[in-house]
Amino acid sequence: MTTEQLVDAYTWMTLSRVVDERAFTLQRQGRLGTFSPTKGQEASVVGSAMALTVGQDWIVPQYRELGACLVHGLPLDLWFMYWMGNMSGGRIPDDVRILPVQISLAAQLPHAVGLAWARRLQNLDDVVIAYFGDGASSEGDFHEALNFAGVLRVPVIFFLQNNGWAISTPRSAQTAATSFACRAQGYGVAGATVDGNDVVAVYEVTKEAVARARADEGSTLIESITYRLGPHNTADDHTRYVAEGEMETMAEFDPIVRLRTHLISQGLWDEHRDTELLAGHARRAQQAAVTAEARRPHYSQVFDHVFARPTPRLARQAAEAERRHGQEPS
């Protein structure tokens, strides 16, 4: 990575961390729904996203890829709107090549393969990257998507974030395989393992996978070994299953601290710039949250986009909601 890219990576990673902190506070205040922080996985998410071409390649996220979505142009206020329960927040702008957040584990992986296949059939030079966790690799959709991708040799990258836990299930109980990446061989795709807390290493291995995909050499399964520095989501109590002292030990490998230390040692960064950067992030996160909160969702959104043509039952429910809503005091 160039000097400029390293500073950019640090900027995106720290923005992700600051937004996490702001969102966590809002959730505890009852102003934002349950969400999954990226804390500890910023290098994994940002490094891989920066290896793609913004405006050309596609990101298919799960729900812990805030940094990647920001790199590729997702407006931050839309991210807040989505987690505040506003359906409009899930409407990705036409010029942003990201699919909506997917909560159901691995359900986005066949979509990613289909998207990559469609782009290849149109003779386009796009690459698709799909993010998911180690827990999602136990779902049937993961295996079907890998098999489909291997047979069709589509330009898709499966980016598995092995953060040590699938909610409270440890990696040791997830698979007996020596690694998740070694599964790639069984599907006829390339496999790679990378230190997910090293943004440069993540960038390099993803860049190689992108080049392979563009050269029509098939798909890649990347296992990014990182660590979740906190709960699975804001409804989870990780202290009930993480061994005492483990979180503190793993915090020593914090990817943000690691990159900042490197930048300072190379004379590319200093404490003054760091303070200014974080203050700017805090203002940006606050403004985006305020903007999102001002766009309160309408109750009727729960009936929109369920079916192309509302069923009689859905229409009755919508009418009943309208009737009851009209009787409520303002």
φ and ψ at residue 216, rounded to 5 degrees: 60, 35
Q: How far is CA 21 from CA 15, 35, 49, 286, 291, in A?
A: 10, 12, 21, 11, 17
> Which DSSP string do the residues of 201-214 spell out, in sequence order?
HHHHHHHHHHHHHH
| Residues contacting residue 279 through CB under 8 Å, at least 6 positions apart | none
Which residues form the catalytic set?
228, 232, 241
Q: How far, in Å, CA of 36 to CA of 23, rounded?
A: 10
Compute the distance between CA of residue 174 and CA of residue 176 in angstroms, rounded to an integer: 7
Residue owning tokens 């990575």? 1
Rounded Cα distance between 273 and 279, Å, is: 10
Q: Which one, of 28, 58, 52, 24, lies nearest residue 38 by Cα?
A: 24
